Structure 1
Amino acid sequence: MRNDSLLINKKSWDEVAHRFFGRNPLPEYGPLAPREEDLNLLGDVAGLKVLDIGCGSGHSLQYMDSHDAAELWGVDLSKTQIETAKELLKNSKAPVHLFESPMEENPDLPLAYFDIAYSIYALGWTTDLRQTLTNVHNYLKPGGIFVFSWEHPLHSRAILMGEDFHFNKSYHKEGAYDHEAWHAPAIMQQFKVSTYINTLIECGFEIEKVVEDVSLTEEDRERHANRWYSYEKAKMMPTTLIIKSRKKDR
């Protein structure tokens, strides 16, 4: 099932990558979510080696380059996304290393090497959360940080009808699902907040911050009118889960 899911998702992303060019990259953590300048989860990245898990079109790495990161590394399942990221980052100040690979596998990335790893709206695509987080843990130096964002587990389980929420699936149900807003064959994974936290801990991370806040500026309201992530729904339920963790410094 895992290999089948990876093949389906790779094909889907290769076909729809253009729709997500530059969509919600750092300093954004997700639609209607607080930004890095509000949260300061990454801190000063100048001189640091950074790794993007699910790097997409490369815009988050471009942000890191603009803040003087020493090395830019990225992994993405989609060949189209990697090619797009290579083009975007061809004039970067820092050296760039991009790998077309599932996040569940190590495409020959160095171990205990990175100061920061992050994943912006990509971790929910993993077919094996524990293996992916184990990989990230192995990539980081002791004391290195890992920050990820993903659609909040409640968001796709509840539908706003007028001023009332109707739950269309149990919060307790986890595993693969077809996302209602994804207009191509694709398989994402649904986990509870506690599953993300507990798996991080079991893989050797210390949790430093969990963010479920929203950003409801007028600009946000205009950008997300009549979309899957709506202003009206965000007033009552978070769109995004953001977690900062750190590899234990043994």
Structure 2
Amino acid sequence: MYDEVDYPEPGQVERRAVGGAESARAGRLWWDGAADAYQAEHGDFLRDAGFVWSPEGVDEAEAGLLGDVSGKRVLEVGCGAGQCGRWLRSRGVREVVGFDLARRQLQHSGRIDEQTGHRLPVVQADAQRMPFADDSFDVVFSAFGAFPFVPAAESALAEAGRVLRPGGRFVFSVTHPIRWCFPDDPTEQGMTVNQSYFDRRAYVEEDGAGRAVYVEHHHTVGDWLRGIVAAGLVPQDMVEPEWPQDNDQVWGGWGPVRGRMVPGTAIFQAVKPV
């Protein structure tokens, strides 16, 4: 749902079911084409080594949602250009790994590594099939990475649970499910409900041949919670950030006008039992 200058041109919009393979293909295509514009537009807000959970500006340095990560092995799901993982590295966390579906995003990560001197090991991979062994990480997190773009919440969350060690923490942020009801408009005009909260058909942009070139999926709050439990994890909290008074930027469908009345982000916290 992006139409800013220099982003890939949106195709014909449909609402339909999309499977995992088609969704992953569309994600690679779109994010490889959008990475340059995305980093140019949002790079200052994200910072080269910064940990921002959401467009509201929730900063891990203040929120501490991951808890104490010193001495922990950490995985970032859908790392983009690696800003969050690189911030952890800059704070002395020795083992941080990131992965993303888009090769171009990872190229930006390498570029920023060279500029900052804080290197984040990254790999190109799909959140639906994480290339890591069981019980590999003490902390798994995702800041708007991957999970809004997977068709089955339970399968992706199961992968996160699989690679997390017993006693480990899982934290991820996504578009707040209630936002699915509203148009992608951060102004007063975007306050009118025009879509059923319970309609789980994906938002799909298609090329002339009917192939998906951008896909975004909707899961309700209950879907996310059931997925967390099915993954063998125990939910701890769901954070719904309020829009801060000092943040006047507009980010796609997020902005101060609507953001101070309707939540735009949901951050889920869970742990894996010992």
Which TM-score applies when normalising by structure 2?
0.80
Alignment of 1:1-250 (within 5 A): 1-21=19-39, 22=43, 24=46, 26-90=50-114, 91-92=117-118, 96-107=120-131, 109-122=132-145, 123-159=147-183, 162=188, 165-178=191-204, 185-218=213-246, 220-221=247-248, 223-224=249-250, 227-249=252-274
User: C-alpha displacement at 1:133, in angstroms?
Assistant: 1.1
The RMSD of aligned alpha carbons is 2.3
User: C-alpha displacement at 1:155, in angstroms?
Assistant: 1.7
Q: Match for 1:196: what amino acid?
A: W
Cα distance in 1 for partners of 2:162, 2:139 equals 12
Cα distance in 1 for partners of 2:109, 2:218 equals 27
- Flag the 1:142–1:168 CA change in 2: closer, same or farther, 3 A: same
Tell me if the contact between 1:33 and 1:240 (Cα under 8 Å) persists in the aligned partners: no
User: C-alpha displacement at 1:194, in angstroms?
Assistant: 1.2
Matched residue count: 239
- Flag the 1:178–1:216 CA change in 2: closer, same or farther, 3 A: farther
Q: Compare 50-59 and 208-217 and name the one that shifted more.
A: 208-217
Cα distance in 1 for partners of 2:190, 2:152 equals 34
Cα distance in 1 for partners of 2:127, 2:189 equals 39
Q: Match for 2:140: what amino acid?
A: A
- Flag the 1:120–1:11 CA change in 2: closer, same or farther, 3 A: same
Which TM-score applies when normalising by structure 1?
0.87
Cα distance in 1 for partners of 2:204, 2:62 equals 32
Tell me if the contact between 1:50 and 1:73 (Cα under 8 Å) persists in the aligned partners: yes
Q: Match for 2:28: what amino acid?
A: K
- Flag the 1:229–1:111 CA change in 2: closer, same or farther, 3 A: same
Tell me if the contact between 2:187 and 2:257 (Cα under 8 Å) persists in the aligned partners: no
Name stretches of at least 5 consecutive residues in structure 1 with no aligned partner: none
